[in-house]
Structures are given as structure tokens and as C-alpha cells.
Chains A and B, each alone.
Chain A
Amino acid sequence: MADTAFAAKLRKIVGDRYYREDMEARVAHSYDGTPMLQALPDGVVYPASTAEVSAIMKVLAEHRVPLVSRGSGSNLCGGTVPVEGGVVMVMHRMNRIIEVDLENLTATVQPGIITAEFIAHIESLGLFYPPDPSSMRISTIGGNIAECSGGLRGLKYGTTKDYVIGLEAVLASGEIIRTGGKLMKDVAGYDLTKLLVGSEGTLAIITEATLKLIPPPRAKKTMLAMYRDLYGAARTVSRIIEARIIPATLEFMDNPTIRVVDDFAKLGLPLDMEAILLIEQDGDPEAVERDIALIEELCIAEHADRVQVAADRDEAERLLTARRSAFTALARLRPTTILEDATVPRSRIADMVLRINEIARKYDVTIATFGHAGDGNLHPTATTDARDHDEVHRVEQAFAEIFEASIELGGTITGEHGVGVVKAPYLEWKVGSAGLDMMKGIKQAFDPHRLLNPGKLFAKETRKRVVLQHD
């Protein structure tokens, strides 16, 4: 195939090897972790430095070619699918840890470093970087920043946005900006750092990040509680927080998930339980012991049918198996797995789970729910088959109603996966039309020619709201 007009210029910047327009490269960058979504880019570029990123962007701006920057492409919202073609920029070659500053407790990294590798390095220095999305073995720090990834430790330690304190980024014009720094206090103008975190590659290309590190907890304990009554589990969550305890992990699995997990992992879980809570606390050893003892009492007071506190790390690992198997077990049920992340205030979790189960029955689809009970971030997960168009349509209707229910309960359409393509039609439901206009204005200011990740966040039109029927 004939090269595009800008190909020669890009090759001059990165070399022949690092700009490709062959079908192999185009097909392999036409998808991410999102089901049922694929679009071919016109080319794929692998820059090695900020200067190259800037030069590439200048060429693309001149030719008005869209650019989608990405890490490993593990996101679940279609965030890195090049729906309007253009060039995909893979950040894997920019994967260095530039510096770990032990005096300021910061790390400065390039965006292409794999999250788990970064965390392993930080932990080897006796420090702690808490954001731990489930995809961390493959996801990049740059991708985590673009999507503002969460994870299991969000409740106590916050998410990616709470650890990014400085950025270097390339704008749509090719200009380079620096925001924030190794500073815990900085009110010089609008907070562009926070604005870029979670902007899904629509405002700028992140080329370097300065991250905040903290001292690691000295001890950790794990426990499991099972409930016949969903509300008992939900009340336990609220009472733990009311007791002024913030657990490091507070995970939840509903009955459909318990059944699937037990069938998969043969753990001998009681199938008549409506909910399982997996709770971990970390910190100073004495405080951890005290907190876990109190949480155990609260579980029993809320009629937990069974409470198990792990005596050691081996037992803890066994208790964690159930929750860790949830995604795998669900993924094996049917060919297509759609994992959503509707999020509600944690006091409304039981209501939300019941609504999800009701909606699944109404549309005759299989949806199991697990997730982060402590921060209200649930993962209703539909298992279906992309080739069954009728069922896929019902799944879509069910999710629309789940988003609606989530907003009605004071929640949001996405807690940690991002809007991308998948939830763009629902964004206005959450932020309102004035809010949406304001976001569009910000986009316009950063990227007047719609070159950066076009087709994301903003849908052509907002989906019509579902009229909810209540009993």
C-alpha cells in the first residue's frame, strides 16, 4: 500500500523501524481490552523521547491527522481504539524510571513503564505506590494516568490522581508543557496536573510524570465474612466506616459471583450466601490487630454467617483466592465478558446490587456483581456472546438502566474505567448539559482541531434516558 503523505516525515523523526503502516501493525493496534470494538489506524509510531513526540505531533498537526496515544491497550472503555483512524502512538519505548528522590519521596518516570514493574522497583527501595488496578501486570503508568485508574486500595489510599503531582506533556500543537512538580503545595493557577489525569488522551500526550510515594505499612491482616442477608453485608460496610476504621481493602461478591467462582475454583463456598466481604487492614501491627478484632465483632453483630481471620499470609492468600478468581471465573462462562464499573455512595451498595439483579432478570441476561464495596465501586459483569446480536442488545439495554439506577442513587456511570467510546452516550446523564458544554470548552481550548483521541468522551448525541418503572 502507498504511504500516507506524512509517512516520510514521521520516518525521518523516528527511523524506518519505528513508524509502520503495514497491515500487521495496523491490525494489532486496532483494539484494546474493550469487547466488540475495533477500528484500524492508518499508521503506528513508537517514539523514544519527548522531543520525538513533539516533532511527531507538529507533523500530524500540520497534516490534521488524529493521534491516539496508548500504553498496553488494556483499558475497558474503548479509550485507545482509533475510531477515527489516524496514527496510534505506542509509548512502550519511553519506559525509564528517570529518578527516585528519597528526600522528597517522589519518583519521576516515563509513561511507558509497566505499573507492576514500577511498583516492584519502588517496593525494593522500601517505599509504597498504592494505585493497583487489576491490569497492573500489563498496564503502563501513562495509561493509568490517562484513565485515572483505581484498584483495590482506593478506599484507604485513593487512586492515581492522588499520586500524580507533576507532568510533562505534549500539546496538540506539538508544544511541550510542564505542570506541578515535586511540590506538596502549589496553587499557581489552574491545576492542570489534575485536569490531565483522567483526560483519556484527549487533551495532551503525557511524556513524563512525577509521582508521590509514601512509606509502606508495617503489617497486614486479611479476613473473610459471609452473609445470608445482603443488607447485613452492606450495613457491616457502613458500620466499619462509622467506627472510624478505613480498611485497606473492602471487597464484595454477590451470590451469582459466588456461584460462578465456586464452580470454577472448587473452593467449597456456601452457595446460599448472598454476599461475601473480603477485608484487609494494614498499618502498625498493634493497630491492625485492634482494627481486625473490632471489624470481626461488627461482622458478627450484623449476623455474618461465617467469619474467618487469616492466621498467616498463606491462609490470607487462600481467602483472597475467591475474590481474585471472580473475573477469571466469569470470563470463562461465555465468549464475551462486559465488565462495567457503576459506582454509588457506599451507603447505597445493597440497594444498587438488588437493582442490578432486578434489571438482569428483566432483560433476561446474566450479570454477576463484585467489586470494591468500601468505595462503592461495583463491577456488574455481563457474560454473553458477541455473535448473539439479540442478546447483546438486551445487555446494552440492561447496562443503560444500570447507569440510570446508579445516578439515581447518587452515583456515577464510571468509577475507574473511564468514558472513552463506551460511556460517551451517557456522560451527559452524570454531568448535565451545562457540565458537558464546559468540558467541550476545555477540549476546544486544548485541541481546537480535534486531533487528540477524537471520538472519545463526547458522543454525537446523548442516549435517551430510560424511563424507570418502580414498584
Chain B
Amino acid sequence: MTSQTFGKPDIEHANPLARTMLKKLDYDQLTNCMRCGFCLPACPTFRETGVEPESPRGRIALMKAVVDGVMEPDQAFEDQMNHCLGCRACEPVCPADVKYGQLIEQTRDAIEDHAEHSVAVKGVRKLFFRGVFPHQSRMKLLGRSLRLYQKSGLQKVARGTGVMKLFPSHMREMERILPEAASQGVIERLGERYPAKGERIATVALFRGCIMDVLFADTNVNTVKLLSEAGFDVVIPQTQGCCGALHAHSGEMDQARELARVNVKAFKDAGVDYIVSNAGGCGALLVEYDHLLHEDTAWADDAAWFAERVVDISTILVEKGRVPAFAEAVTATHAQVGLAPTSASSEASVTITYQDSCHLRNVMKGSAAPRKLMQSVAGAHFCEMRESDRCCGSAGIYNVTQPEMAGQILEHKMAHANATQAQYMLTSNPGCLLQMKLGIDKHGRSEDMKAMHIVDYLYERIAQSSGEA
């Protein structure tokens, strides 16, 4: 019948933030929320606090109230918007398909336009968002300094002298679990091309990530090797950069768009069939580059090309790798990733469990593939952790900016983790991996539970069965 669209309210706001929000927020999405409340039980902050403003429905109502001129945005409003983890667990359960993730990012972007940060905060934000993340060479430099700190004995000195006690406790806990920084990234170690083993199925590009390639360079290397085993030629474009997710979640949308353009160009030039991500947090933004750049006519088409090629490592292994038929996925997966067949299930002495990456699950819809891969590991028993689909509290840099809520959420997570009695806690995202390491460390369980990226765990199994180191 009517395809007429109705625009935004015709209001002249006196408040500058309200004016920017009116300009930046998608009013159709605000209207689409019908306030049924189905998102409330899915929301971690609502579950922790039990109060309506801490829910997606509440936050959307607050955004709409500002845009509609019902309320002036005050400090409490800004705090509430920053209290959201951005896990987007509310999106799959929303009957009306409201794009909450976009609304919260648009709101934070508007807030950031008017933010009056202290000089120190401004400096740190600028340093990281503009000065470090976008420049892989500087990320490496940072990595080397971290490595120097870890290797030179300074770390020992810092821990021994109690200097770390000068930092807030959550920063201190974080420092303890940081992995060893790598001096060489994936390209330095494997080159820009890595051939498929056996007949080539497709050519894929690895999205290496900025933090991944410094703190988890081994995972990048293992991802490339796994892809090769499964029949993919792998290209690693040198000119790619940071995905921009941390920027987008923190209200630095222009910077996020700038990074997106760099990546779209890098991968378009490489001309690949798929773009593989091994970090749910990055992948979820990459897969939405089309939305991020949809108003940029010069880039919209290429961004759409990019977005439709983005796929998570587990998904491409299961869906496109050497798997003859879906029904035989369990046995076929063994052949594909080179795991020994499940002949000795009786000796399943190892228990593995999994913490979903919220963005891989809720945005990339990739919750089934990692489980399929884990269930196919010979001699291992996959135990589903209770509420594995719920956020662990890491949420990008949330555990640094909102330590109290993040800690509370992590405590609940660890209770479920401990109940699985698993020896391995696998994840699909660096943030979740660090958070789970932190939880295991805090609970004094480092001896009997190890947090690993699923790629590393799977590749270790291949290396063992094929006699490689």
C-alpha cells in the first residue's frame, strides 16, 4: 500500500548535543522499536541491575526522548550510553529487527562531537585512536616496547617492586595476563602469499587486525596455515590496517570510516573470493562496512563488495573448506582440518568449552561453526558452558572503561566456566580471550584451565597429528 516514508521531527533544539543527535540518529530505527521488551532478558547490564534505563528498550527510549525534545541530555544520559557493552545480544531477539548497534554508535558519535574530555583523556584518546591503532608500524613499535618490557626483566622488576600497585586494580590484573608481544607479524613470518595444500578451492585474504598481529601473531600464522590445509590460497595484503571497530564503538565514526576506506581499497586491489577474519570484534564491523560507507557514493559499491566477502575463520572452514557434504560434517571436518578420526572417543579425557564472541554470534551469525569444529576433535569432549552466548564483559575496551560492571559480569561467567570442569576455554576473539584469561587468573585456576583461541587449539591438533612442531 503506502511506501511513503516519514522523516525526522521538525524541531529546533537549543541543546547542541540534542541537535547533533537529531542529525546523526536514524529516526526510522528509533520509531521501529515497539517497546515490547523482548530485549530485556538478553541484555547483560539489565540483568546485572534490573532497571529499565540499563536495557536496550530503555536506552532507545532515552535517545528518542532527547531527539524528540522530551529531555535534555545530561551527564547521566551520556554515562548510560557508555554503560552499554555493545554486545548486541538484543538484536537477534528483537521482533522488529531494530538496529540497536547502529543507534548506540550514532549516539556515541554525537556525544563524542561535544565531549569535553580532560586534557589527559583527550591525549590518550588521540594517541590511541589516531596515533597508534591506524598505523601498523606504530602498533609494532608498541608491541616491541611491550616485548622489551616483558623480556628485559622490567616486568619482573615492576611486579617485584610493587610499582604496579600504583595502577588501579583492574589495570594491574590486566597487565598480568597480557600475552607476550610478538616481534614479527604474520607477513614477516609467512610472506604475503601462502598456497593451498592440495587442490585450490578459492583464494582468500586474511584480515590480520592491529592488536591481533602484535599480541596474537601466532594465531594469525595458525589461521593462515589452517586455511591452507582446508584448500585455500591465502593472500595477506600489506596495505591493510586497523578495522576501526574500537573507534566506531567509542564515537570516532569519521576515523572509523577513514580506516574502512583504506581496507576496502587494500582488499579490492587483492581481488579475493573471501576476506577471512579471526576476531569476532573486527569481523562484525568489517561485515558492516557497507552500512558504514553507505552515504559515501564514491565508496558505497566497493564497501558492499567488501562486506559480502567477509567471513569468520570457523565458518569458512565448515562451509567452504574441504567438506564433501554437510551431513557428514563431523567426519569430513576431520579430513579437512587434518584431525585424527574419532576412533577413540572412549578416551575423551579432555574437556573443552567455548565462550561465544558476541559480535561473531549476534552480528556475523557465526555460533554454529566453531561448535561443529570443536565437536569434531577426536578424544575431546565438548561441554557447552551455561550462558556461553552471553557477553564476558570484555566488550572491546569496556573492561578498561567500566571495570566495575565488567568485573561483575566476569564473576558470573567464571561460575559457569568452572562448572564445566573444562581444561580448555576456547574463544574466537582476542578481547574475549584476554577476559577469560583474566577470569581464570583471578580465580587461581591457571593450573587446570587454559584459555586459547579456537584457531590455535585446532592448529595444535593438526601439528600434533602430522608430526609438525
Residues on A facing B (Cβ under 8 Å)? 22-25, 27-35, 40, 46, 72-74, 90, 92-93, 114, 116, 135, 137-138, 327-328, 331-332, 335-337, 364-366, 385-388, 391
| Distance to closest chain B CB from A408 (angstroms) | 27
Task: Show 21 residue pairs from A and B whose CB-CB distance is below 8 angstroms, ordered by the A residue.
Answer: A23-B65, A23-B71, A24-B53, A24-B76, A24-B80, A27-B70, A28-B51, A28-B53, A31-B61, A34-B35, A35-B34, A72-B40, A74-B37, A92-B50, A114-B41, A138-B38, A331-B36, A335-B28, A336-B31, A386-B31, A388-B6
Quick check: is B32 within 8 A (CB to CB) of the other chain?
yes
Q: How far is the CA of A27 from the CA of B70 in the complex (A)?
A: 8
The residues of B that contact A35 with a CB separation of less than 8 Å are 34-35
B36 nearest CB neighbor, chain A only: A33
Q: How far is the CA of A137 from the CA of B74 in the complex (A)?
A: 32
Given contacts A138-B38, A335-B28, A366-B1, 7 further A-B contacts (CB under 8 A): A24-B53, A24-B80, A28-B61, A34-B35, A90-B51, A331-B34, A331-B95
B53 nearest CB neighbor, chain A only: A28
Say what secondary structure dominates the interface of chain A.
loop
A327 nearest CB neighbor, chain B only: B95
Are B34 and A31 neighbours in the complex by a CB distance under 8 Å?
no
Q: How far is the CA of A73 from the CA of B37 in the complex (A)?
A: 7
B62 nearest CB neighbor, chain A only: A27
* Choice from B6, B37, B72, B80 contacting A138 with Cβ under 8 Å: B37
The residues of A that contact B31 with a CB separation of less than 8 Å are 335-336, 385-387
Quick check: is B52 within 8 A (CB to CB) of the other chain?
yes
Quick check: is B305 within 8 A (CB to CB) of the other chain?
no
Residues on B facing A (Cβ under 8 Å)? 1-2, 4, 6, 28, 31-32, 34-38, 40-41, 50-53, 58, 61-62, 65, 70-72, 74, 76-77, 80, 95-97
The residues of A that contact B38 with a CB separation of less than 8 Å are 135, 137-138
Q: How far is the CA of A34 from the CA of B34 in the complex (A)?
A: 8
Q: How far is the CA of A331 from the CA of B34 in the complex (A)?
A: 8
| Distance to closest chain B CB from A21 (angstroms) | 12
Q: How far is the CA of A29 from the CA of B37 in the complex (A)?
A: 12
The residues of B that contact A114 with a CB separation of less than 8 Å are 41
3 interchain residue pairs of minimum CB distance? A387-B6, A328-B95, A28-B52
| Distance to closest chain B CB from A114 (angstroms) | 7
Are B37 and A332 neighbours in the complex by a CB distance under 8 Å?
no
The residues of A that contact B72 with a CB separation of less than 8 Å are 23
Contacts A23-B71, A137-B41, A331-B95; is A31 near B35 (CB within 8 Å)?
yes
* Choice from A22, A90, A386 contacting B76 with Cβ under 8 Å: A22
Are A33 and B62 neighbours in the complex by a CB distance under 8 Å?
no
Q: Which among A32, A364, A385 has the highest number of chain B CB atoms within 10 Å?
A: A385
Q: How far is the CA of A202 from the CA of B205 in the complex (A)?
A: 63
* Choice from B1, B34, B36, B76 contacting A364 with Cβ under 8 Å: B1
Q: How far is the CA of A73 from the CA of B34 in the complex (A)?
A: 12
A93 nearest CB neighbor, chain B only: B50
Q: Which among A23, A32, A114, A337 has the highest number of chain B CB atoms within 10 Å?
A: A23
Say what secondary structure dominates the interface of chain B.
loop
Q: How far is the CA of A365 from the CA of B74 in the complex (A)?
A: 41
Are A332 and B95 neighbours in the complex by a CB distance under 8 Å?
yes
Are A27 and B65 neighbours in the complex by a CB distance under 8 Å?
yes
B80 nearest CB neighbor, chain A only: A24
Are A33 and B37 neighbours in the complex by a CB distance under 8 Å?
yes
The residues of B that contact A116 with a CB separation of less than 8 Å are 41
Q: Which among B65, B70, B71 has the highest number of chain A CB atoms within 10 Å?
A: B65
Are A28 and B62 neighbours in the complex by a CB distance under 8 Å?
yes
Q: How far is the CA of A90 from the CA of B72 in the complex (A)?
A: 24
Q: Which among B1, B28, B34, B70 has the highest number of chain A CB atoms within 10 Å?
A: B34
Are A27 and B71 neighbours in the complex by a CB distance under 8 Å?
yes
Q: How far is the CA of A46 from the CA of B51 in the complex (A)?
A: 9
Q: How far is the CA of A46 from the CA of B50 in the complex (A)?
A: 10
Q: How far is the CA of A337 from the CA of B71 in the complex (A)?
A: 26
B31 nearest CB neighbor, chain A only: A335
Contacts A138-B37, A331-B95; is A28 near B50 (CB within 8 Å)?
no
Are B53 and A32 neighbours in the complex by a CB distance under 8 Å?
no
The residues of A that contact B41 with a CB separation of less than 8 Å are 114, 116, 137-138
Are B65 and A135 neighbours in the complex by a CB distance under 8 Å?
no
| Distance to closest chain B CB from A321 (angstroms) | 14
Q: How far is the CA of A433 from the CA of B275 in the complex (A)?
A: 69
| Distance to closest chain A CB from B206 (angstroms) | 33
Q: Which among A30, A35, A46, A335 has the highest number of chain B CB atoms within 10 Å?
A: A335
B50 nearest CB neighbor, chain A only: A92
Are A32 and B77 neighbours in the complex by a CB distance under 8 Å?
no
| Distance to closest chain B CB from A45 (angstroms) | 12
A365 nearest CB neighbor, chain B only: B1
Q: How far is the CA of A388 from the CA of B70 in the complex (A)?
A: 21
The residues of A that contact B58 with a CB separation of less than 8 Å are 28
Are A385 and B6 neighbours in the complex by a CB distance under 8 Å?
yes
The residues of A that contact B50 with a CB separation of less than 8 Å are 92-93
Are A32 and B1 neighbours in the complex by a CB distance under 8 Å?
no
Q: How far is the CA of A337 from the CA of B97 in the complex (A)?
A: 13
Q: Which among A24, A138, A335, A365 has the highest number of chain B CB atoms within 10 Å?
A: A24
Are A33 and B97 neighbours in the complex by a CB distance under 8 Å?
no
| Distance to closest chain A CB from B63 (angstroms) | 10
Contacts A328-B95, A331-B95, A388-B2; is A138 near B40 (CB within 8 Å)?
yes
Are A388 and B4 neighbours in the complex by a CB distance under 8 Å?
yes
Q: How far is the CA of A27 from the CA of B69 in the complex (A)?
A: 12
